[in-house]
Structure formats: C-alpha cells, structure tokens
Structure 1
Amino acid sequence: MIDFELWDTLLRQYVDQQGRVDYLAWKTEQPQVLADWLSSLKQLHLESNSTPLEELALWVNLYNAFTISTILERYPIKSIRPKILGVPNWLGFLWFFQRRVYEVFGRRYSLAQIENQILRDKLQEPRIHFSIVCASVGCPLLRAGAYFPEQVVEQLNEDARRFINNPEKVRYDSLSKTLYCSKIFKWYRQDFLKVAPSIPEYIRSYLEKDLPLTAATSISYLYYDWNLNQRIS
C-alpha cells in the first residue's frame, strides 16, 4: 500500500478545521512537494489482494490529492468553474473532471473515473460524497488529515455527521416542514437510496438532534457555492 504520511502531514499543515486550504502558503512554502509525491506513485503496482477498506482509503486520498495538486498548479484562481465574460464555462468545468491526466499504477485516470467507476460503482460507498472534495465551498469540508484503512470507516462516519449537521449543508424549517439540503443529495440520490428508504431518512440517521423527517418530507435544494475553498491568511 501507498504510504500516506506525507499527504497527512501536508493536510495537517495547510487545512483548517473548516476545511479551508491555505493555498497561498502551501504554494509559497512547498510548491512541488505534493506534485513530486504524486509523480513517485506513477509506476507503483496496485496490489491485487487489497481489501475494500484499503482501496477505499487509497482512492479517496488520491482523489483529494490530485484535486489539490491541480489547484496548486493554477493558483491563484477564484473557482474551479471558470467564467467567460461572466458566464460559467461549463466545458472548462467538465474538463476539470473528465481529463485523464492523473497517472498512478501505470494508468491514467480522470477525477470522474475515480469517483464513478471506482468509489461509486466498484466500492459502493455513498459516504464518499462527504469525503471527496472538488475544492469548492459547496463541497464537503476537506479533512485536515489523510484516510487510513484501519480508520476509514470511522472517518467516513465522522465526515457524514459533520456534513449533515452543518446548517450550511443541511437544515430543517419546522414552520414550512421543509428539509433544505445540499445538491449533493440530488446529484447522487440513487447512491443514498441504496442504503436508506429516502433522502430525509438517510439524513435523519446522522443527525445529532431528532427531527420529524420521513419519506414524505418536502425537500428543497440549497445553492451550491463553486468558489474556491481557500483560507485567506
């Protein structure tokens, strides 16, 4: 397995508890460390006897590391969703996720491949939607540390609880009896419905307070903020 201690150290140094990244300090102080580490992984071999937990930790770490490395290359930027004359450039946005430029284990991957073909289809883990981070404010909070196989189940549960109990991502209006939640629950609805009867009931299972959420609860989706998840020093 890959040694993630360096990645863990970088995250602890440059990510705060709100999941914001100090890209300026990272790029100023250690501009090549992450890129060089990722480059060293290109010719490693993926172990055929890896356990599902080892694969889960591996690919969540790689997804986030590849994303942060790309942001560091381009920084300063305001968002991963570029604009042309004030209009969102959706082709450029899709290119960010679809380009196969991330080389590991002798193959090239895109972020979309890692997310959809490995983490979603192969490993069947809906909690990755609270753990993989596309570097935007609307994403889950980036964990200030790496994922490790012996801890990854607990870490994913922590991520789910942190996301669902964050009023910026999920909140309930008792007057209108409406559940307001992140569009992540809309985009990946089918993943959550594999393990729960409905989106409100999935959310309720992670809430710290008991709310009257049922399959019949009305849902409204919150604005998704594509601005960069950066920390301003």
Structure 2
Amino acid sequence: MAWGMVSDARKMGESEGRVLGRVTVYSVLGCPHCVQAKTSLGRLGLPVCDVDMGKHPELRDSVKELTGRSTVPQIFFNSVHIGGNDDLQELLPEELERLVRLVREEPVLSEALPLPLAEENQSDGPDTAEEADGAAELSAILRNMILKLFSEYLSSDGKCVDYKAMSLSPVFERYCELAVQLQRVELLSLTREEKLAFFINIYNALVIHGNVRMGAPTNTWQRYKFFNYVSYLIGGEVFTLQDIENGVLRGNRKGVAQLLKPFSKTDPRLQVALPDAEPLIHFALNCGAMGCPPIKTYTPQDIDSQLRTAAESFLENDDGCVVDSEKGEVRLSQIFKWYKADFGGTDEKLLNWILEHMGDSPKRSSLQSVLSSGKIKVSYLPYDWSTNSSH
C-alpha cells in the first residue's frame, strides 16, 4: 500500500473539519493482522470503529453474509468492504484517496453494518477465579487475561511479541496466580462441549505462559521438551501440552514422533479424554509458531460452529490450503500430514473432508473441479516454525 499518502490524508483530515463517516474493523483481540490493520488505519486520521468479534460472536453470521469471509480483520470504509489486512496494505494510492474522501464527506448508514448493542451495562462475566463457578468460566478468565497481555505487547506492525516485557507485567503475575486455581477444577463433570472449549483455551494459554517463562523453542529438541514438559496441574493431575492435545482432544492417540499413547489404561487422566479424535481442534490450537492458526477464545456454547468457522478461516488462507487447478495439485499445511489419521487416513478422504469444511469461495469451487477430474496430486507446504518473539 502507498502509505506515503497517509500524511497527506491526515493533513486533509485536520484541515477539512468534521468527518461524517467512519472506518469499521471487525477484529479479534490478540490477532496480529488486526493490530497491523488498525495501526495503518490509525495513521489516516479517520474515526475507526473497532468491533471485537470475540466479544460479540452474535455478529459473526451477519459479517460473513456481508463479506463472504469468516477471517479477521474485515474492513469497511463506510459501507464499502475492503477485505482483510492484506487487501488494505495493497490498496493503490488513488483508491486509498477515494476511500478517505468517502469517509470524510459522506455519513455511513447506521443500518448498513452490524454493530453490537450499547455496551455500558454489558459484562464479560466474572473477573476473578473466586467468582467463577467452574472450569469453563475459569478458563475464560485466564484466556482473556492472556489475550489482553498478548495484544498489549504486540509490536506496532503486529508481527512480534515482547515476551520479556510481558513477563514483568503485574497483569501477567495475576494470570500466574489464577492459573494455580486450575488444580481445583472438577474435570469429570465437564460435558463434551465444555471439555473442548476448556482444554483448547488452556492449551493456548499454556503455550503463551511457557513462552514467557522459558522462552520460545527454536529447534526440534527444544520443541520436544517444550511440549512434553510445559504443564499445568489441573483437577489434581499434571497435563502437559502433549497430554492436552493428543491425550484429551485427540481421544488418546499417538502424537507426532510418539511411540506410545499419552495415557495408559490405568492412567486416571484417560477418563477425561474425548472418546474419539476431534479433527477441528487442529484449527484452534496455537503452538506459538507462525504457521499455527490464529489465537482465539472458545466458549462451550456453540463450540462446534466456532470450530467450523476456525477451519473455514484456516482453509481460506494460502498458508493452510492452495489449489492449483492447472496442475491438478492441492498443497496443504503440514498439519494435515502430521494428523492425517484424524481426517480419514487417505488422500481421498482428507480432500473430501477439506471440501466439506470449506466456506463458499472460489477456492472451494477450484477444489471441487480438481476432485471431479479424478487426477489429483497432494503435496505439503513448508511449515513456518519461526516464533513471534521479539527477543
């Protein structure tokens, strides 16, 4: 994007008086792409209405209907849909100038874009572990605290996190105190939906906690130690990252390079494991690498719909799936190679699973066409193990 124009746009904003319209950004707390987009938009000197989709999940369907996309951010200049962060950064100078003038000179129709109701009396729920009634609420409290920290310590371009500074934050110390309360959670009383949301949230929070305390792993051996030793005491039992992902959420299946199942037949943690692997968890778990899905908060209510949305978003991104119609080739994230058994075990079943879980898009149509041809080559994209740590 030609951001050399930004200073001119700002001067224009300062000289022409009151702005009649606004820029609306649908985002998620802690999303690097959202932070970068809002930083860029902030330089334009226009009013930006930031709608947190994590806080207002009831707007997801409306935004998806408007945009045809389930990813964040989604950006509107008045009622004109721009797209995501990449689309924003690639705007041509004359197009940017036209959009800035549109926002300056024309009001946005209040009914054109979905916005949350007035929030003065709304609450996100309990703020302390003492107020939480159970595992779901406690995990949400912990998760929200980590996301606030993650958002606060992102660099201005949204690409790096200052974990060192985060470690010195009083809010992080409060998070660590709350994490100790996980030992009192009664896991056996959780429903399937509560278990999914609880353990996904805890996994993602534990990864960030581990990065802050130990530093991000930088090679294969360090990653092995990280995922097999970083742990929380939950409900009286120790759960490592491997235990949570492969033991609980994948129905006690062997993980990558694991010789044995996480839980033996006599292990009390086996009672907590899901009866079968849930493939959708692979689009919700963030292991701290750039190649992982974005970090989000999940709630037991409508968890399957939330996970399907996460899958659609991941598959829409070219880091997750690329369809080359001319070559009859589908290139996929390594996640599909590592956990192929969870998606049916064969290329045919895997591709049909992907087709079924894609949103309506040109990419889905291309995949349908390739599948119909009967001649398909499946390959896997390089996985970006680099961390987003700035130290």
TM-score, normalising length: structure 1? 0.82
1:229, distance to aligned residue in structure 2 (A): 3.5
1:1-233, aligned counterparts within 5 Å? 1-2=134-135, 3=137, 4-12=140-148, 14-15=150-151, 22-24=161-163, 26-29=166-169, 30-46=171-187, 48-75=188-215, 77=216, 80-82=217-219, 90-99=220-229, 101-121=231-251, 122-123=273-274, 124-143=277-296, 146-193=297-344, 198-207=349-358, 208-209=361-362, 210-211=365-366, 212-214=369-371, 216-230=375-389
* 1:213–1:59 distance in 2 versus 1, CA, 3 Å: farther
Q: In structure 2, how many angstroms separate the alpha carbons of the residues matched to 1:109 and 1:216?
A: 44
Partners of 1:96 and 1:134 in 2: how far apart?
A: 10
Higher relative contact order, chain-length normalized (CA < 8 Å, sep 6+): 1
Aligned CA-pair RMSD: 2.7
Deviates more, 1:215-224 or 1:184-193: 215-224
Per-residue deviation, 1:150: 0.4
Per-residue deviation, 1:20? 6.0
Which residue does 1:85 correspond to in 2?
Answer: none
- Contact (CA 8 Å) 2:332, 2:381: kept in 1 or not? yes
The structural deviation recorded for 1:140 is 1.2
In the aligned structure 2, how far is the partner of 1:219 from the partner of 1:185?
A: 11
1:176 is displaced (CA, Å) by 1.2
Per-residue Cα deviation, 1:63-115 (whole angstroms, up to 9, x for no partner): 1111110011134x4xx233xxxxxxx33221111126321111111111111
Q: Read off the aligned partner of 1:99 and give its amino acid letter.
A: Y
**Structure having the larger proportion of residues in helix:** 2
Structure 1 residues 197 and 19, CA gap change in structure 2 (3 angstroms) = farther
Matched residue type, 1:116 = N
Q: Deviations over 1:158-206 (max 9, x none)?
A: 1101110001221111221111110100000010117x95222222223
| 1:135–1:229 Cα contact (<8 Å) kept | yes
Count how many residue pairs are aligned between Structure 1 and Structure 2.
217
Question: For residues 137 and 100 of structure 1, do their structure 2 counterparts lie closer, same or farther at Cα, with a shift above 3 Å needed?
Answer: closer
Which one-letter code corresponds to 2:204 in the other structure? Answer: N
* CA 9–151 in structure 1, closer or farther in 2 if over 3 Å, else same: farther
Contact 2:283 2:310 in 1 (8 A): yes
3-state SS of the aligned residue for 1:176? coil
User: What is the identity, as a one-letter code, of the residue corresponding to 2:320?
Assistant: K
Q: Does the CA-based 8 Å contact 1:42-1:105 persist in structure 2?
A: yes
Identity of aligned residues (%): 28
Give the letter for the 2:175 counterpart.
Answer: L
Letter in 2 for 1:61: N
Q: Which runs of 5+ in 2 are unaligned?
A: 1-133, 252-272
The structure whose Rg is larger is: 2
Change (3 A) 1:136 1:92: same
| TM-score normalised over the length of structure 2 | 0.51
Instruction: In structure 1, list runs of 5 or more residues that go unmatched.
Output: 83-89
Deviates more, 1:165-174 or 1:180-189: 165-174
